[in-house]
């Protein structure tokens, strides 16, 4: 191991806290979503598959090899999406933390397969431009991994078609900044487009729902 035990223990807690914070900020539902942090150039800690974020303990996080994510040790069985986390960290050595999740408004755009334009200076700074949509693929597949990696080229976030959002930062704090601005920007875009389409001046989720039903519910 190229890292010291103190660093590993600290990063295990970072992963634990990331799951709890996703729940607290309504950026994930249930046990969905997953996060990862880099231990060294070829190892990362990831969240296990299908476990409650509140009950999850730091020692539950498996160590996964970045160059071959089929190899893992310690903790519990790692998330099936570890291949995507590994591919991003392999391609981009400056990235040390990644988040895949399903916030409400990001998931709407991911399901609609809409590229999110730059909505603010903050989005430009954090994401690096528009948020593209990666090609659709079933969870854990090469197609999903390839589509996500391509959509992340030159960006710190992208949508996964019919799935959710993927964000990457130099550390977990930055990754959280990115997923927050992605959810806010997605909301702002949906609000803008809904008001434009309906001619109304005040947005609500009910307005969006009613418009959608009237246009596509027949």
What is the pTM for the complete model shown? 0.94
Bridge-based pairing state of the strands 157-160 and 164-169: antiparallel
- List the domain boundaries for the chain: 5-185
CA–CA separation, 165 and 179 (whole Å): 8
Which positions ≥6 away from 65 have C-beta within 8 Å? 42, 43, 71, 72, 86
Phi and psi for 126 in degrees, rounded to 5? -85, -40
Phi and psi for 89 in degrees, rounded to 5? -70, -35
> What are the b/e assignments for 89-116, b being 16+ CB within 10 Å?
bbeeeebbbbbbbbbebbbbbbeeebeb
**Pair 159, 106: CB distance under 8 Å:** yes
Q: State both tokens at 8.
A: 């590993």
Q: What is the pLDDT of residue 218?
A: 62
Q: What is the pLDDT of residue 179?
A: 98
User: Cα–Cα–Cα angle for 107, 166, 150, nearest 5°?
Assistant: 110
Q: Comparing C-alpha atoms, which of 93, 84, 216, 99 is closest to residue 150? A: 84
Which positions ≥6 away from 67 have C-beta within 8 Å? 42, 86, 90
Q: What is the pLDDT of residue 215?
A: 79
If one looks up domain 5-185 in CATH, what number appears?
3.40.225.10
Q: Comparing C-alpha atoms, which of 44, 50, 142 is closest to residue 86? A: 44
Phi and psi for 186 in degrees, rounded to 5? -65, -45
User: Would you give per-residue pLDDT tens digits along the chain (218 residues)?
Assistant: 578 899 999 999 999 999 999 999 999 987 789 999 999 999 999 999 888 889 999 999 999 999 999 999 999 999 999 999 999 999 999 999 999 999 999 999 999 999 999 999 999 999 999 999 999 988 878 899 999 999 999 999 999 999 899 999 999 999 999 999 999 999 999 999 999 999 999 999 999 989 888 877 76
Q: What is the pLDDT of residue 187?
A: 97
């Amino acid at each position: 191991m190229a890292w010291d035990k103190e660093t590993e223990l600290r990063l295990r807690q970072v992963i634990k806290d990331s799951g709890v914070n996703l729940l607290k900020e309504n950026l994930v539902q249930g046990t969905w979503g997953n996060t990862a942090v880099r231990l060294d150039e070829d190892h990362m800690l990831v969240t296990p598959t299908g476990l409650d974020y509140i009950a999850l303990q730091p020692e539950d996080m498996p160590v996964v090899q970045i160059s071959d994510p089929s190899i893992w040790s310690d903790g519990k069985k790692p998330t099936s999406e570890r291949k995507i986390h590994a591919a991003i960290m392999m391609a981009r050595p400056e990235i040390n933390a990644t988040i895949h999740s399903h916030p409400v408004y990001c998931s709407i755009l991911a399901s609609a397969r809409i590229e999110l334009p730059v909505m603010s200076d903050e989005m430009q700074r954090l994401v690096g431009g528009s948020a593209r949509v990666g090609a659709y693929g079933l969870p854990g597949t090469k197609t999903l991994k390839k589509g996500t990696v391509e959509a992340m080229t030159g960006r710190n976030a992208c949508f996964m078609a019919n799935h959710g959002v993927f964000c990457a930062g130099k550390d977990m704090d930055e990754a959280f900044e990115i997923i927050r601005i992605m959810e806010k920007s997605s909301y702002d875009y949906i609000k803008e487009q809904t008001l434009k389409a309906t001619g109304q001046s005040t947005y609500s989720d009910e307005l969006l729902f009613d418009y959608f039903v009237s246009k596509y519910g027949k």
